[in-house]
Structure 1
């Protein structure tokens, strides 16, 4: 079966981990309006995205080190920055924005190899895209980025509103 999709066992494992990570990320966004390690879905997303990025560094389907490996490293860097921002002083001020928008950016990063690898393999026998340079694929990734920007603006607005909302007085 894996031969049908031109996947090794390791590649299948990597793909499964990535799909579960994306599901966790979407669940966190739907339930909480953001991804963060304070929720089980958000923590699962972050940990599984780290696993996806690390395993992706050992896949060389297209030859040597290339753009997918750069994206994996970039994802790890953005996750580290977002995590550090989230941890510092409970993610207040600008750190909140860095954490929330950083984690969401990594969800967009999942879209790139997901569309590329899925679209160059499926549907079987007549893949949707001819390769990573296919204009339709590039357009879809661009549309995905626009969706990310819209979502990031919505998240930033929500963060701004919650930061400005009056806080209840402490109980005595």
Structure 2
């Protein structure tokens, strides 16, 4: 079959639900944030995905996937803290682009694990170092950068609300 453990399957289902919520928030609101139901679900499910990923050792001990899980948790914390500060300053940019960055982070193991398992018997990628896989991740990063730039411009163009006196 796909050579995936029951725990790995649960981890994957949580990750897919997170990505669906993240994309829904992104397309509906132009950003992922704690102010929407889809955004909150995305953040919590992404945190659960990163946390459960720390206990998967398909390729041996601690490795790049575990470092990415820790980085994801750190970026989620930074984005959440920045989002709590609110406003339209640097904290708003950090929150919006930070949450979007974690959506890009989902792409890396998603492509890697799927491409090294499917199609059965003749996977699309030979492993994490496969040049085609690296190219796809690079394209994903360029898409993230374009999306983040669009989000920053969208925030900059938004009408500013004067603080109450």
TM-score where L is the length of structure 1: 0.92
Partner of 2:3: 6
CA contact (8 A) 1:37 1:43 kept: yes
What stretches of structure 1 of length at least 5 have no aligned partner? none
Q: 1:16 aligns with which of 13, 17, 24?
A: 13
Partner of 2:49: 52
Alignment partners' CA distance in 1, 2:149 and 2:111: 24
Partner of 1:151: 147
Is 1:120 the counterpart of 2:102 in the alignment? no
What stretches of structure 2 of length at least 5 have no aligned partner? none
Alignment partners' CA distance in 2, 1:92 and 1:28: 19
Rg (Cα) greater in structure: 1
Cα distance per residue 1:90-138 (max 9 Å; x no partner): 2431100000000000000000000000000011111100000000000
Quote the RMSD (CA, aligned, Å): 1.2
Partner of 1:27: 24
Partner of 2:35: 38
CA contact (8 A) 1:85 1:91 kept: no
Count of residue pairs brought into register by the alignment: 163
Partner of 1:99: 95
Alignment partners' CA distance in 1, 2:161 and 2:76: 30
The offset of 1:32, in angstroms, is: 0.1
The offset of 1:69, in angstroms, is: 0.2
Task: For residue 92 of structure 1, give the secondary structure of its aligned residue in structure 2.
Answer: coil
Partner of 2:60: 63
Alignment partners' CA distance in 2, 1:166 and 1:38: 18
